[in-house]
Amino acid sequence: MYGWEWGLFTVMMMYIPNIIASIFALNDKRSSEHSKKSWTFFFVIAPLVAGTFYWLGGYFTRVKERNKFSDLLEKANATAYYEPNVSRNKRVDDSTVEVASINLVSEKYVEGNSFEPLHPTQEKYRRLLEDISKAKKEINIQYFIIKDSLIWDAIKDALIIKIKEGVKVRLIIDQFGSFLTPTKAFADFIEAGGEFVEFNRFQVSGIRGDTNFRNHMKWVLIDGKIGYTGGANIGDEYAHLESKYGYWEDLHFRVQGPIVNQMSNQFRNMWYIETGEMIEVLTNSDIAGDEKARLIADYPHENETVFLNYLLRRIGTAKNKIRIVSPYLVMPSILINKFIEAAQKGVDIEIVIPGMADKPIALWVGVMQAELLTSYGIKVYRPNDIFVHSKVYTFDDEDVIIGTSNLDFRALYLHYEANIVIKSEKLNREMNRYIDNLIPHSKLVDRTVSSWGIGRRINWAFAKLISPML
């Protein structure tokens, strides 16, 4: 072959797989239009790198894993509730004009629940250890991150005591989130008889091609009666025993009532997805309070972007105010536009994001998105020298969302996430007081798009391109 023929052959070998990948990307029902455009751009300018990351990210495996998920629902007796006459594949895309009327896939609302905010997070660990000590039959745990730390040592020792008393203890950790935690940190737990699973383990041989799909939940379920959910993983920084990113601000919740059944079903699903074992979990019908709630779970192998669809609907129906706390503000265009529409209708919107960063590039994108939102009258606050890791959403004076989802692409499209929608004026007031206490220590973002120079506008264009990959 001549030199130019080898060159042409090389270029063809680089681009043909990426043309195929582009077709997959453009037809991916779960991805946003924003994400599709970004991936297609990178396929053109960096074919080898983009193609490799697209494959490792799991976008080619969704059909296979969807079949596994359908099998899960069948074996789990279809625990999720689907509104009648609604396609499971229905989703909102960037061209949708009206999203307030869309039907949603979710669990049913159940009454009789209580939700106790645990703040600061030392209180979470204190109450958790107390509840573990009282466990009688079963403890189910799943965490994105468990670090080899003093906090984990205390929890592990408490769990080992319960295992020796005959309590069944299951633990799921996300292998990527806990990648830096040495295996020896779990050795005593496993040796004592605890059941241990690393979720979506990355292996060089037999790469599964769904590396990007992480279990981002942070749950403990005790005897099917008590649940814990929120933003705090297990590590010393969450309890302020070390300070890597300034003061770590986080929030967790102690949950009781029939809603814990929905959390237990979700844990069962996650255990099955990773192990293929369908376990039985404890359930209860105890009335613990007067709050009405339902669980919204997101699975990346599903076409449905459930939590994003719920947010779009709820933002569209807000009457007076929306207040949110999120550690990241890396949103798809459809969500940015929905916030702007709500603000233009007169809804007062306040968002709190970190003043310090654990991921500088994500904060860089977040600040630019904040400046765009500020241009439309939306207030965005950044607490001084504080890394805010809480996830709280309040709407009007009526409801609250708590759980594990951030306002970023990973939470909305790529992670296994679970959030609880709570109809409670009382909890709404409590969470608004929590936000009120953050704002006096914060700087209001006051730069707007009108002040952007050419450099800032180029940065914004680049930020839009990379945001789906963060």
Q: Give 158-184 pLDDT, tens digit per residue.
A: 999 999 999 999 999 999 999 999 999
In whole angstroms, what is the distance from residue 208 CA to residue 200 CA? 9
Domain ranges of the chain: 3-60, 84-106+292-469, 113-291
Query: Which of 454, 308, 414, 390 minimizes the C-alpha distance to 39?
Result: 414
Q: What pLDDT score does 102 carry?
A: 31
Cα separation, 39 vs 54, in Å, equals 8
In this structure, CATH architecture of domain 84-106+292-469 = 2-Layer Sandwich (3.30)
Q: What is the pTM of this model?
A: 0.85
Give the whole-angstrom CA distance, residue 335 versus residue 341.
10
Contact of 172 with 215, CB cutoff 8 Å: yes
Q: Kindly give, in sequence order, each residue whose CB lies less than 8 Å from that of residue 248, ignoring residues fewer than 6 positions away.
A: 121, 237, 238, 240, 386, 387, 389
Same fold for the pair 84-106+292-469 and 113-291: yes
CATH topology of domain 113-291: Endonuclease; Chain A (3.30.870)
| Residue-level pLDDT at 16 | 59
| 228 in Cβ contact with 251 (< 8 Å) | no
Q: Which two three-digit tokens encode residue 263?
A: 């959390």
Question: Comparing C-alpha atoms, which of 375, 323, 319 is closest to residue 353?
Answer: 323
Nearest-angstrom CA–CA distance, 417 and 438: 25
Sequential pLDDT tens for the chain (470 residues) = 555 555 555 555 555 565 555 555 555 556 666 666 666 666 666 666 666 666 655 554 544 555 555 555 555 544 443 333 333 333 333 333 233 323 334 578 999 999 999 999 999 999 999 999 999 999 999 999 999 999 999 999 999 999 999 999 999 999 999 999 999 999 999 999 999 999 988 754 444 456 778 999 999 999 999 999 999 999 999 998 888 788 899 999 999 999 999 999 999 989 988 888 889 999 888 899 999 999 999 888 777 788 999 999 999 999 999 999 999 999 999 999 999 999 999 999 999 999 988 888 999 999 999 999 999 999 999 999 899 999 999 999 999 999 999 999 999 988 999 999 999 999 999 999 999 999 999 999 999 999 999 999 998 888 888 787 77
| Closest C-alpha to 417, from 304, 285, 258 | 304
Nearest to 233 by CA among 190, 178, 271, 187: 178
In sequence order, what are the residues at sequence separation of 6 or more whose Cβ sits closer than 8 angstroms to the Cβ of residue 237?
243, 244, 245, 248
- Report the C-alpha gap between 66 and 367 in whole angstroms: 36
pLDDT of residue 83: 34
Query: What is the distance between the alpha carbons of residues 229 and 437, in angstroms, rounded to a whole number?
Result: 22
74-123: per-residue pLDDT in tens? Answer: 555 444 433 333 333 333 333 332 333 233 345 789 999 999 999 999 99
Take residue 341 and report the two structure tokens written for it. Answer: 């529409």
Tokens coding 298: 């997101």
Q: CA distances (Å), 193 to each of 114, 134, 161, 164, 165, in order? A: 32, 19, 11, 8, 11
Q: How far apart are CA 127 and CA 118, in angstroms?
A: 8
pLDDT of residue 211: 72
Assign 3-class secondary structure to the chain: CCHHHHHHHHHHHHHHHHHHHHHHHHHCCCCCHHHHHHHHHHHHHCHHHHHHHHHHCCCCCHHHHHHHHHHHHHHCCCCCEECCCCCCCCCCCCCCCCCCCCCCEECCCEEEEEEEEECCHHHHHHHHHHHHHCCCCEEEEEECCECCCHHHHHHHHHHHHHHHCCCEEEEEEECCCCCCCCHHHHHHHHHCCCEEEEECCCCCCCCCCCCCCCECCEEEEECCCEEEEECCCECHHHHCCCCCCCEEECCEEEEECCHHHHHHHHHHHHHHHHHCCCCCCCCCCCCCCCEEEEEEEECCCCCCCHHHHHHHHHHHHCCCEEEEECCCEECCHHHHHHHHHHHHCCCEEEEECCCCCCCHHHHHHHHHHHHHHHCCCCEEEEECCEEECCCEEEECCCEEEEECCCEEHHHHHHCEEEEEEEECHHHHHHHHHHHHHHHHHEEECCCCHHHCCHHHHHHHHHHHHHHHHC
